[in-house]
Structure 1
Amino acid sequence: MQQDHLVADVGGTNIRIAIAYKSELNHIETYKCAEFSSLEAAINHYIEQNQLTVNKACICIAGAVNDEEIKMTNMDWRFSAHSIEKRCAINKVHLINDYHAIAMSLPHLSSTQLITMSKRKGQAHAPKMVCGPGTGLGIAQLVPIGEQYHCISGEGGHIAFAPTTEQQMHVLAYLFGQHKRVSIERLLSGQGIVNIYQALAAQASQHPQPFDAKDITDAFINQADTLCVESVTLFLEILAQFLGDLVLMNGAFGGVYISGGIMPRIIEHVDLEQFNQCYTHKGRFKEYVDQAPLYLITEPQPGLIGAAAYLYQSID
């Protein structure tokens, strides 16, 4: 009997499940998490629906992953690798963080799954970084070791915001009035765009509209509101300089990749020349950062691809 390898990407709202053969995905299904009482129930539904016998699985989770029981933040799901193995009759289950999975996908993404944002070529056997402003700010590093890759992940989105201009200092002062500590995620996320908008409105002595991130980015795309345009422009400036900081910290000459839901929506309206100038604006180390190419991930399922890559690397 054929035994399949299963991969899954578990978010706060949806769960995506597929069968993997190396980097090829088959039978991709998306379910609403709320429709199932547990993660195991969702996986068993998929297995029964596709009449599978699963040997190994890799499941990436939007949240912290450890060797103990995992509790999802936005729903009443508790599970562990052992509970999934037992209740879903799977021989071996790997649980990894979602940005661990996205990092593992990077060597497997082709030019059709990316937008090249710079003219730099980068180095083939060098570290890569992924940074994803979305609901939060995920960050991970991928390091080549021989013929395999090792992911170094953490909570880089929660390092302190370091302003470099007077305008950015004003935004920091505004946010410092609301938070005991201002992390970079307070600016580089959906809520971060709203925070920037409100800070600039206060600076201009304007009453801010009750906009969310989509309202502000839509107004930026359509050039419909000056304050929204200024807010997204500043968001892009801060993002670019932060990506350059990642290169300084990690020597990511294999490339810096942007993921998350914000940038794909606005990329056609981004001034890439200005973005790259902010990215490499590092004084004496401009040429150092200028060695690292920039990419935007457009592939809709990098988590599943990365989970498959992790699974097959563990098999090898």
Structure 2
Amino acid sequence: MPAMQADTKALPFPVLIGDIGGTNARFSLVHDDQAAAGEPQIVKTADFATIDEAIRVAVLERSPVRPKSAVLAVAGPVESDEIRLTNCPWVVRPKAMFSSLGLSDIVVLNDFEAQALAVVALGEEHMEKIGGDAPEPNAGRVVLGPGTGLGVAGLVHAFGGWVPVPGEGGHMDIGPRTPRDYQVFPHIEPLEGRVSGEQILSGRGLVNVYRAIAIADGKAALLSQPAEITAAALDGGDAMAAEALETFATCLGRTAGDLAMVFMSRGGVFLTGGIAQKILPALRKDNFRAAFEDKAPHGELLRAMPVYVITHPLAALEGLAAYARTPSLFGVETDGRRWQT
């Protein structure tokens, strides 16, 4: 059987790039292979019935430049000509976009592939290191980020380039470990009978943990939004919120450590997305790194692995822009994920 070849054929410029999550969609234009991404346009997915409508309003009606192609990163698996997002009612139909948006070449990636591309595209000035030794050049890396869901992707170096490995690792099971966990976890809202990573490590997951702590302690859950819980935890004004955020950080450390072993991430583990940036003070505390390293019999291996929080607010767009400019630098397999007229 012949080896699969990554598609390095250049996209026609200008290129529309888009990072579409469950809550927000971010768009920009890359004018040529030397240009940075243009001014981003950010919209709420709930404000538009379709992605096509969002692109028309956010991009086409605002710019005299008409894109010829697009690279879109979506929060969900790319498996057919109709791509349904996991946490959003939008359906991406690339073939229909040829006529509706005037595009001639469309690549659709998983949203955390874009985050993995960003790890290569961004400099260290856009990252904050949390423990570990120096990264090994060209060693495996992993990217994860809690948001509307929990995104996960790997990144491996092969054949002279970086190959993003998409997946749905945010849906792995996660369970209790400490005596306190066994008091709280029975009250975490399950999804079809199980507790996956997303049921804890996401915006709604933080609310789930906070409510579970309240039930376990027989107290009222007075807060209902992730931002409220995070703010109350960080300013020390609410003990239950503080415990919820500490539990969140500990579980994120455990999950990051699990994924670090899966990908043998001596090149680093990268936390991305708005939640990771907002809870940086909690991630700097000892419990996060201790949970990451507590992987007997491989604790020494984990202690050496560096963890970074990506602080760039639009990291995925930077990754997509890098791919649009120079697809030959990345081993992105586009079979079944690229549509051309």
1:186-221: CA deviation from partner (whole Å, max 9, x where unpaired): 111122222222222233232332432222211111
Alignment of 1:19 onto 2:29: yes
Name the SS of the counterpart of 2:304 in structure 1. Answer: coil
The more displaced of 129-138 and 15-24 is 15-24
Measure the CA separation in 2 of the matches of 1:194 and 1:11.
19
Q: Which of these residues, 191, 195, 199, is aligned with residue 212 of structure 2?
A: 199
Q: Which runs of 5+ in 1 are unaligned?
A: none
Q: Which of these residues, 268, 282, 297, is aligned with residue 281 of structure 2?
A: 268
1:93-126: CA deviation from partner (whole Å, max 9, x where unpaired): 1011211111111111112211111242111101
The more displaced of 194-203 and 238-247 is 194-203
Q: How does 1:251-262 map to 2 (within 5 A)?
A: 251-262=264-275
Partner of 2:161: 148
Partner of 1:236: 249
Name the SS of the counterpart of 2:327 in structure 1. Answer: helix
State the AA in 1 paired with 2:26: R
**57 and 281 in structure 1: CA distance in 2 versus 1, 3 angstrom threshold:** same
Alpha-carbon distance, 1:62 to partner: 2.4
Name the SS of the counterpart of 2:224 in structure 1. Answer: coil
Q: How does 1:43-54 map to 2 (within 5 A)?
A: 43-44=55-56, 46-47=59-60, 49-54=62-67
State the AA in 2 paired with 1:25: A
Question: Does the aligned pair in 2 maintain the 1:15–1:33 contact within 8 Å?
Answer: yes
Q: Which of these residues, 308, 311, 314, is aligned with residue 295 of structure 1?
A: 308
Question: Does the aligned pair in 2 maintain the 1:22–1:312 contact within 8 Å?
Answer: yes
Alpha-carbon distance, 1:296 to partner: 0.6
Q: How does 1:16-165 map to 2 (within 5 A)?
A: 16-20=26-30, 21=33, 24-33=36-45, 38-44=50-56, 46-47=59-60, 49-72=62-85, 77-165=90-178
Q: Which of these residues, 182, 198, 209, is aligned with residue 169 of structure 1?
A: 182
Alignment of 1:247 onto 2:257: no
Alpha-carbon distance, 1:41 to partner: 4.1
Equivalent residues, number? 315
Q: Which of these residues, 6, 29, 32, is aligned with residue 16 of structure 2?
A: 6
Name the SS of the counterpart of 1:290 in structure 2. Answer: helix
**244 and 180 in structure 1: CA distance in 2 versus 1, 3 angstrom threshold:** same
Q: Which of these residues, 278, 295, 299, is aligned with residue 282 of structure 1?
A: 295
Alpha-carbon distance, 1:222 to partner: 0.9
Measure the CA separation in 1 of the matches of 2:297 and 2:106.
47
Question: Does the aligned pair in 2 maintain the 1:200–1:227 contact within 8 Å?
Answer: yes
* Superposed CA RMSD: 2.6
Question: Does the aligned pair in 2 maintain the 1:84–1:90 contact within 8 Å?
Answer: yes
State the AA in 2 paired with 1:57: A
**176 and 223 in structure 1: CA distance in 2 versus 1, 3 angstrom threshold:** closer
Percent identity (aligned):
29
**200 and 299 in structure 1: CA distance in 2 versus 1, 3 angstrom threshold:** same
Question: Does the aligned pair in 1 maintain the 2:69–2:104 contact within 8 Å?
Answer: yes
Question: Does the aligned pair in 1 maintain the 2:18–2:26 contact within 8 Å?
Answer: yes
The more displaced of 178-187 and 128-137 is 178-187
Question: Does the aligned pair in 2 maintain the 1:23–1:305 contact within 8 Å?
Answer: no
Question: Does the aligned pair in 1 maintain the 2:246–2:282 contact within 8 Å?
Answer: no
**201 and 3 in structure 1: CA distance in 2 versus 1, 3 angstrom threshold:** closer
Measure the CA separation in 1 of the matches of 2:299 and 2:125.
29
The more displaced of 110-119 and 10-19 is 10-19
Question: Does the aligned pair in 2 maintain the 1:54–1:91 contact within 8 Å?
Answer: no
Q: Which of these residues, 177, 196, 212, is aligned with residue 183 of structure 1?
A: 196
Measure the CA separation in 1 of the matches of 2:124 and 2:234.
25
**44 and 192 in structure 1: CA distance in 2 versus 1, 3 angstrom threshold:** closer
**88 and 208 in structure 1: CA distance in 2 versus 1, 3 angstrom threshold:** closer
Alpha-carbon distance, 1:70 to partner: 2.5
**199 and 7 in structure 1: CA distance in 2 versus 1, 3 angstrom threshold:** same
Question: Does the aligned pair in 1 maintain the 2:175–2:195 contact within 8 Å?
Answer: no
**48 and 209 in structure 1: CA distance in 2 versus 1, 3 angstrom threshold:** closer
Partner of 2:9: none
Measure the CA separation in 2 of the matches of 1:48 and 1:212.
34
**287 and 23 in structure 1: CA distance in 2 versus 1, 3 angstrom threshold:** farther
The more displaced of 187-196 and 64-73 is 64-73
TM-score normalized with structure 1 length: 0.88
Question: Does the aligned pair in 2 maintain the 1:117–1:272 contact within 8 Å?
Answer: no
Measure the CA separation in 2 of the matches of 1:187 and 1:172.
10
Measure the CA separation in 1 of the matches of 2:222 and 2:206.
13
